Amino acid sequence: MGSIGDAIGNVVGGITGAKQSAKAAGKAAKVQAAAAAAGVEEQRRQFDKLIELMSPYVQAGAPAIEQQMVLSGLRGPEAERQAIEAIAASPQLEALARQGEEAILQRASATGGLRGGNVQAALGQFRPQLLQQLIEQRYNQLGGLTAFGQASATGQAAQGMNLASNVSNLLANQAQATAGGIMAKGNVTRQAFGDLLKIGSVASGFF
């Protein structure tokens, strides 16, 4: 019975234009659905590119905050000691200490107080003070990397939320377009039978 109805609907629909309208609606739905699918793909491609660009900053932030925790003693006294000893044995501290100590000795020699107690005290305090400064400097440098990593991770999370929202909207549009095309095709037979009744009514009026 359905096939007979479809056949009648096609014939009458071809006469009244209902079939052509349904085809046009179906094509429009396919175009809209394809555009939504392309939009989803582009959104995902742009998000993947963003993750790729921001990945180095996020990766730098994780070990930086770990080193800050070590220098703060949050990973235990042994880890803190090892980190401080690494800074104390660094070429940077050695170079700065040598320059500073030479400067102290040169000033003392110029003033004739090379063997004075003040000179020995200054030399004894110089390296510990320099080490403390380098520890604070290292911690602040790590803090900059941590901030970069945090900002990048926050940016990734925000873009992820935007992606989810945009993709959800595009998928809804795609579903709506597909459903609209199906409903348009399904209305061909109903509209065609309505047109058939109108044609019959007009024809009976002539006779």
pLDDT at residue 51, rounded to an integer: 78
For residue 48, CA distances in Å to 44, 60, 69, 153, 156 come to: 6, 19, 31, 14, 10
CA distance 71 to 94: 20
Contacts of 45 (CB under 8 A, 6+ apart): none
Contacts of 156 (CB under 8 A, 6+ apart): 50, 51, 54, 58
For residue 72, CA distances in Å to 65, 66, 93, 118, 178 come to: 10, 10, 20, 33, 59
Per-run averaged pLDDT (10 residues), the chain, 207 residues: 51 52 68 74 78 78 88 92 93 92 82 67 89 93 84 76 74 69 59 55 49
pLDDT at residue 202, rounded to an integer: 46
N-term to C-term CA, the chain: 30
Give 68-87 pLDDT, tens digit per residue: 999 989 999 999 999 999 99
Question: 18-71 vs 77-88: helix axis angle to the nearest 10?
Answer: 80
pLDDT at residue 161, rounded to an integer: 72
pLDDT at residue 15, rounded to an integer: 44
Contacts of 29 (CB under 8 A, 6+ apart): 177, 178, 180, 181, 182, 184
To the question of pTM greater than 0.85 for the whole model, the response is no
pLDDT at residue 192, rounded to an integer: 55
Q: Are 187 and 22 in contact (CB under 8 A)?
A: yes
pLDDT at residue 87, rounded to an integer: 93
| Structural tokens at position 68 | 């800050």
